[in-house]
Amino acid sequence: MELQELLIAALGTVVTLLPRPDYVGEIEETGETLEENARLKAATITQATGLAAIADDTGLEVHALGGAPGVYSARYAGEDASYADNVAKLLAELAGHEDRSASFKTVCVISFPDGSELVGEGAVDGLIGTEAKGMAGFGYDPVFLPLSDGARTYAELSAAEKHALSHRGLAVRNVAALLRAKLDGEN
């Protein structure tokens, strides 16, 4: 849903994204980078459906932790960890660290049936708070304070505010610009 909203805003036109077909099942993220995981998900859906597909992958890179959790952000506290589990582990690992700087990164890939693809990236620098704040969003949103706002976590921002400055919003805007150029070139 968020991806569709971001694409509509970026393209300035109605876009309908179909959900991943049930017969495709969960796609295991086995890549070593965010781009590899996004590509794997988009290409798998394209191969299964014969349609263009869009997918993304996001990671939180905390500088004091050597870039962790990074590509393992969704499963930082274990394979079946909840968002709260991941946040709790992150806060525990950062206890005692003065450097709480971090970067949230997203890579978005559009895969086409002819094998071509478009790749957009987005990154936002920020800080990890000392406690979770806010009720909106998901994942690490309650502890990530983007430098562009500084006072509020992603989870304290409205959806429109978050979309305007988030790493995912930036990645989708970047891939949408490439898609617009591709579509304009085909006309």
- Cβ–Cβ under 8 Å, residues 39 and 31: yes
- Annotated catalytic, 57? yes
| Set 22, 56, 57, 184: catalytic member | 57
Judged by DSSP in three states, 35 sits in helix
DSSP state of 28: P
Q: What average pLDDT does this structure show over 116-143?
A: 94
Q: Which residue has the higher pLDDT, 15 or 78?
A: 78
Q: Which residue has the higher pLDDT, 137 or 39?
A: 39
For residue 187, what pLDDT band results from cuts at 50, 70 and 90?
low
Closest CA to 105 of 54, 56, 160: 56
The Cα diameter of the chain in Å comes to 57
DSSP state of 143: T
Which pair of tokens denotes residue 111? 């895969």
Look at the chain and report how many structural domains it folds into. 1
Question: What is the CATH number for 70?
Answer: 3.90.950.10
- Looking at residue 1, its pLDDT comes to 66
Q: Give the residue numbers spanning the domain of 138.
A: 2-186
What's the whole-model pTM score? 0.90
Weakest-pLDDT range from 12-16, 70-74, 140-144: 12-16
Is pLDDT of 112 > 90?
yes
